Amino acid sequence: MLILKIIIVGCGKIGGTILGDLVLEGHDVVAIDTDADVVEDLSNIYDVMAVCGSGTDRSTLIEAGVSKTEMFIAATSSDEVNMLSCYIAKKLGAKNTIARIRNPEYNDENLGFLKQHLDLSLAINPEMLAAREMFNVLKLPFAVKIEKFSVRNFEIIEVVLREGSPLTGVKLMDLRNKFKEKFLICVVGRGDNVYIPDGNFILQPGDKIGLTAEPGEVQKLMRAVGADKKQAQNVLILGGGKIAFYLSKMLTMSGGGVRIIEIDQKRCKALAEALPKAVIINGDGAQQELLMEEGLDTADAFVSLTGMDEENILISIFASTHKVPTVITKVNRNELVGMAGKLGLDCVISPKEIMSDVLVQYARALENSRGSNVETLYNIMDGKAEVLEFNVRADFKYTNIPLKDLKLKKGILIAGIIRDRKPIIPSGADVILESDKVIILTENQRLNDLRDIVR
């Protein structure tokens, strides 16, 4: 692997997560933060060079080695500081600059202009990405996670199997005979363990399965097993921050009804002006009486988006006890994500993890000197497995070989092939061809080239 020199400016919740994941990838990471305590903690925890200073200060950037940096990431809480940091870093020799930009004013028609004139390689809005993921779940409410590949008509979805599901108690090899839909169950989460199953694997109630398929096939399969739910049309949102704004805008534009409960009166006024089709309620959503008054019992979905993970978890549990069909919980702290799952919350979304996934994917693409081989990368099963989309180039020497004859490394599964924009659920007789896109699922292995899958 190629070790990249990476600088991260702003190492709070999001920046710290990005730093930890890129260190785990094996890169040479330098942290810059204005808080001396944060700098000291990062030096001790990750054994990285950490500089106390501003990302807009030329001498600080030079001390951090900006002129030799392949990847410069500005992830402070200020969009303006991030953009200025990237601009200065680019002038000082940084090859690729990436800014966290969250303000809706910068994320409409202005974003292309800013990227061009600041020479940004990438602008990332973790709140908008999180809202998009939540919107996808609300449109496909039997799923707890949905990830789409470069060809939009192929996806991997996570579904939790309930007691009595026709998918349980049957060997996977027999499921294709039982159901005519084209799908592949490629990973199973059971308790704290993750399995890449073979044909003899038997699913159990409570399993979280990851399956690849075309969207239409997924819908038909869920109808066949009695797990389909209607799309959420009446959504109650707790917390009126940026994610709530982006999500509400998506929902109202698609014809859905939205009610937002927000405790801050000034924020309520701003939301009411920005979202004329949504209903904005000024109040404390932690009060159960208010939730019931605002229609929790009749909501198709409840989304908890306050700034406190613990509050989001507790109120989501309350919503679940009232049989709300779909409950989505925002949780940022890693140690609480697993806890939320154990407490019965199936759909837990972390904006900082979504942004970190994008940057890990970008770093792996940069590692390949002949161009991006990793097209898409997602962490699934609560971070215990990865799914990657690779471009098949002319130098891949395992084309035209039946998949059953490929000696794959342990913990690797070929979960899909996309050929001429058409998805293929692979069987042992299928082959990989040049220019295909190949979906690979891996457990606890780091891949940045398609050749890495073969022993």
Same domain membership, residue 361 and residue 337: no
In a domain, 73, yes or no: yes
Q: Which pLDDT score is estimated for 361? A: 84
Same domain membership, residue 110 and residue 63: yes
Tokens of 358: 């994008």
Same domain membership, residue 423 and residue 361: yes
pLDDT digits (tens, 9 = 90+) for 63-79: 999 999 999 999 999 99
Return the bridge partners of 184, or none. Answer: 212
Closest alpha carbon to 356 in 115, 106, 8: 8
What mean pLDDT comes out for the span 118-144?
91
Q: Which pLDDT score is estimated for 1? A: 61
In a domain, 190, yes or no: no
Same domain membership, residue 48 and residue 26: yes
* Cα 453 to the center of its chain, rounded Å: 23
Between CA 163 and CA 274 the distance in angstroms is 43
- Give the CA distances from residue 37 to residues 22, 234, 304, in Å, rounded to whole numbers and listed in that order: 21, 45, 31
Q: Which pLDDT score is estimated for 372? A: 44
In a domain, 191, yes or no: no
**With 80 as the cut, is the pLDDT of residue 164 above it?**
yes
**With 80 as the cut, is the pLDDT of residue 371 above it?**
no
Over the chain, what is the mean pLDDT? 91
**With 90 as the cut, is the pLDDT of residue 109 above it?**
no
Same domain membership, residue 361 and residue 321: no
Q: Which pLDDT score is estimated for 404? A: 93
Q: What is the domain count for the chain? A: 3
When pLDDT is cut at 50, 70 and 90, the band that residue 370 belongs to is: very low
Same domain membership, residue 37 and residue 92: yes
Q: CATH no. for residue 23?
A: 3.40.50.720
23-32: long-range pairs with CB below 8 Å, 24+: 23/48, 25/360, 25/363, 25/364, 25/446, 26/1, 26/446, 27/3, 27/363, 28/3, 28/4, 30/5, 30/6, 30/64, 30/65, 31/7, 32/7, 32/8, 32/60, 32/61, 32/64
Between CA 322 and CA 310 the distance in angstroms is 19
In a domain, 426, yes or no: yes
Among residues 317, 333, 349, the one where a domain terminates is 349
**With 50 as the cut, is the pLDDT of residue 186 above it?**
yes
Give the structural domain span for 240: 234-349
**With 60 as the cut, is the pLDDT of residue 338 above it?**
yes
When pLDDT is cut at 50, 70 and 90, the band that residue 289 belongs to is: very high
Q: Which pLDDT score is estimated for 317? A: 96
Same domain membership, residue 372 and residue 411: yes
In a domain, 397, yes or no: yes
When pLDDT is cut at 50, 70 and 90, the band that residue 368 belongs to is: low
Same domain membership, residue 13 and residue 92: yes
Q: CATH no. for residue 419?
A: 3.30.70.1450
Same domain membership, residue 370 and residue 324: no
Between CA 373 and CA 172 the distance in angstroms is 31
In a domain, 165, yes or no: no
Lowest-pLDDT choice from 78-87, 190-199, 297-306, 366-375: 366-375
Among residues 323, 349, 375, the one where a domain terminates is 349
pLDDT digits (tens, 9 = 90+) for 10-32: 999 899 999 999 999 899 999 99
Cβ atoms of 411 and 378 closer than 8 Å: no
In a domain, 185, yes or no: no
Three-state SS annotation for the chain? CCCCEEEEECCCHHHHHHHHHHHHCCCEEEEEECCHHHHHHHHHHHCCEEEECCCCCHHHHHHCCHHHCCEEEECCCCHHHHHHHHHHHHHCCCCCEEEECCCHHHCCCHHHHHHHHHCCCEEECHHHHHHHHHHHHHHCCCCCEEEECCCCCCEEEEEECCCCCCCCCCEHHHHHHHCCCCCEEEEEEECCEEECCCCCCECCCCCEEEEEECHHHHHHHHHHCCCCCCCCCEEEEECCCHHHHHHHHHHHHCCCEEEEEECCHHHHHHHHHHCCCCEEEECCCCCHHHHHHCCHHHCCEEEECCCCHHHHHHHHHHHHHCCCCEEEEECCCHHHHHHHHHCCCCEEECHHHHHHHHHHHHHHHHHCCCCCCEEEEEEECCCCEEEEEEECCCCCCCCCCCHHHCCECCCEEEEEEEECCEEECCCCCCCCCCCCEEEEEECCCCCCCHHHHEC
Task: Calculate what percentage of the chain has a pLDDT beyond 90.
Answer: 67
Same domain membership, residue 364 and residue 339: no
Among residues 94, 124, 154, the one where a domain terminates is 124
**With 60 as the cut, is the pLDDT of residue 369 above it?**
no
Same domain membership, residue 293 and residue 364: no
pLDDT digits (tens, 9 = 90+) for 196-247: 998 899 999 999 999 999 888 888 888 888 877 778 899 999 999 999 999 9
Same domain membership, residue 99 and residue 60: yes
In a domain, 159, yes or no: no
Neighbours of 362 (CB within 10 A): 20
Q: Which pLDDT score is estimated for 250? A: 95
